[in-house]
């Protein structure tokens, strides 16, 4: 009986060591999963923030294209548009003359984000162009 008790005790000790090893493995897997989830959420938020910054930049570029067109139309009412390159994007402006008004389309692209602005300008008595309509198109 003494021999049998030693065998049972030894078997139970090995079983407990195996159980502790399994428990440690499960804890390591759980902590790794939590770390992966945290990393994924942080990188997702960074991508969202980067895209939002690019969208705002493209919006400013498109609006600046309208102002650029207004300034050049004031100097030369026959101007038909052009392209302007910036460090952080580009703006393409198209101008169409319609009877009394000018239809202006400003397309901007900044790091893959595209913004479009449509507007109509009318020339005032003093020669300055006045904005009479404004629309936005988002990509």
pLDDT in tens, 94-115: 999 988 899 999 999 988 889 9
Q: What is the pLDDT of residue 14?
A: 64
Query: Which residue from 92, 104, 82 is spatially nearest to 61, judged by alpha carbons?
Result: 92
Query: Which residue from 56, 59, 80, 62 is spatially nearest to 119, judged by alpha carbons?
Result: 62
Q: Is the pTM of this model over 0.75?
A: no
CATH superfamily of 2-138: GSPII I/J protein-like (3.30.1300.30)
Domain residue limits, the chain: 2-138
Strand order, beta sheet including 101-110: 81-86, 89-98, 101-110, 113-123, 129-138
The whole-chain average pLDDT of the chain stands at: 85
Q: What is the pLDDT of residue 17?
A: 67
- The count of other CB atoms within 10 Å of the CB of residue 63 is 18
More confident: 58 or 42: 58
> Is pLDDT above 90 for 92?
yes
* Distance separating alpha carbons of residues 47 and 128, to the nearest angstrom: 42
* Distance separating alpha carbons of residues 139 and 62, to the nearest angstrom: 12
More confident: 20 or 74: 74
Rounded to 5 degrees, what are φ and ψ at 104? -120, 130
Q: What is the pLDDT of residue 77?
A: 86
């Amino acid at each position: 009986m003494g021999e049998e008790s030693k065998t049972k005790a030894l078997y139970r000790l090995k079983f407990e060591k195996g159980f502790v090893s399994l428990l440690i493995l499960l804890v390591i897997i759980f902590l790794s999963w939590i770390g992966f989830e945290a990393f994924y959420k942080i990188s997702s938020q960074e991508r969202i923030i980067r895209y939002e910054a690019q969208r705002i930049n493209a919006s400013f570029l498109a609006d600046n294209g309208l102002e650029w067109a207004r300034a050049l139309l004031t100097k030369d009412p026959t101007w038909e548009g052009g392209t302007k390159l910036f460090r952080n994007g580009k703006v393409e402006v198209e101008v169409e003359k319609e009877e009394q008004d000018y239809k202006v389309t400003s397309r901007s692209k900044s790091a893959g984000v595209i913004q479009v602005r449509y507007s109509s300008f009318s020339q005032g008595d003093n020669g300055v162009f006045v904005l009479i309509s404004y629309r936005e198109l988002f990509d």
